[in-house]
Amino acid sequence: MTIQITSRQANVLAFIRARIERDGQSPTLEEIGEGLGIGHVSGVLKHVRSLEAKGRLTMVAGQHRSIRLVREPDPMDADTMELPLIGRIAAGEPLFSEARVDRTLRVSRSLFRLRPDYLVKVVGDSMRDEGILDGDLVAVHATPEARHGQVVAARVGGDRFTIKRLHLKGGVIRLMPNSPGFKPIDVDPTEDFAIEGLFAGLLRGS
């Protein structure tokens, strides 16, 4: 159920949204008052606090431009999800980190066989015959465990990230490509190696 707001609150909300779109930052209470002809900051604050109580925005304590909009409910939300796209991968660190999120993408849940946690961009064609092409965005279900034969996201040597099919036999770990001209990666048991997750699906690159 959507909580209704007054016409004055709607004007305040529209003004804030327009300023954020124009300036890339929220207006101050003083700027809202000047823009809407509200003579006292206390009057502006009353409207902003009411909008906060109704779940339309939040105010971050201790910040001058403290207003943050709350995304309005979308009837399509049940069928979609937001996934972070991971940027540059730092050596020796887990693949997923909030600090390396380039942006988020809203995508259909129906695209994925497993629940994905994030997206990474494919570089190279070593899994072309699996249908995973250079430039595709691969969805990863984060888990440190995988079985023989599953397509995994793995970190090798601390600074190399790859998508390959996992081959486990006699305690030997191999990461198998699926495209002519590419050789398997034999994992050295003394080097830094980790399964970061399972292949959950992909978005075709442009």
Residues identified as active-site: 126, 164
- Measured distance CA(171)–CA(186) in Å, rounded: 12
Q: Is 127 exposed, middle or buried (0-12, 13-18, 19+ CB in 10 A)?
A: buried
* Nearest-10 Cα torsion for 143, 145, 149, 154: 60
Residue 184's nearest CA partner among 159, 157, 162 is 162
Cβ-contact 162, 140 below 8 angstroms: no
Residue 140: C-alpha distances to residues 52, 114, 206 (Å): 35, 8, 19
- Measured distance CA(14)–CA(111) in Å, rounded: 34
